[in-house]
A and B are shown apart, each in its own frame.
Chain A
Amino acid sequence: MVAHGTIAFDTLTTSDQVNTGTEKSLDTSYLYNGSIKAYGHHSGDSPTTATMNDKFNVSSLADNGNGDITYTWTNAFNNEYYSASGMSTEDGTIGYVSLYYSRSYTRSAANLRLQGIDNGDSFDDGAFTSFMCVGALA
Chain B
Amino acid sequence: MIETPEFQGTHLWERLCWAKEKLEPYRSEYCIVWEDPNDMENPAKVTHPDPNWMACALQGGILPPVQSYWELKKDENKPDFVKHTRGPELLHNMKPIGPMTEEEAIEYLIMKDIPEHVWRDWDKSNKPKMVICKKDQLPGTREWRNAWQISEDLVIKEEAA
A contact set with B: CB distance below 8 Å: 37, 45-50, 52, 55-66, 70, 72, 74-76, 78-80, 104, 108-111, 123, 125, 136-138
Contacts and interface: CB of A to CB of B under 8 A. Distances in A.
B58 to A, nearest CB: 13
A61 B76 contact: no
Contacts of A137: 11, 13, 87
A117 to B, nearest CB: 14
Closest 7 pairs between A and B when the two form their complex, measured CB to CB: A138-B87, A138-B84, A79-B83, A48-B135, A59-B53, A72-B113, A63-B46
Interface string B24-58: 00010001000000010011011111111100100
Task: With a 10 A CB-CB cut-off, give which of A45, A60, A64, A109 has the most chain B CB atoms.
Answer: A60
Interface residues of B, number: 46
Contacts of B81: 79
B150 interface: no
A111 B56 CA distance: 19
5 contacts: A49-B142, A65-B146, A66-B146, A75-B16, A78-B83
A72 B83 CA distance: 18
Contacts of B138: 47-49
A65 B84 contact: no
Given A64-B42, A108-B76, A110-B76, 13 more contacts: A37-B13, A48-B138, A58-B53, A60-B49, A60-B50, A62-B45, A62-B47, A65-B145, A66-B145, A66-B146, A78-B84, A109-B84, A138-B87
B84 A79 contact: yes
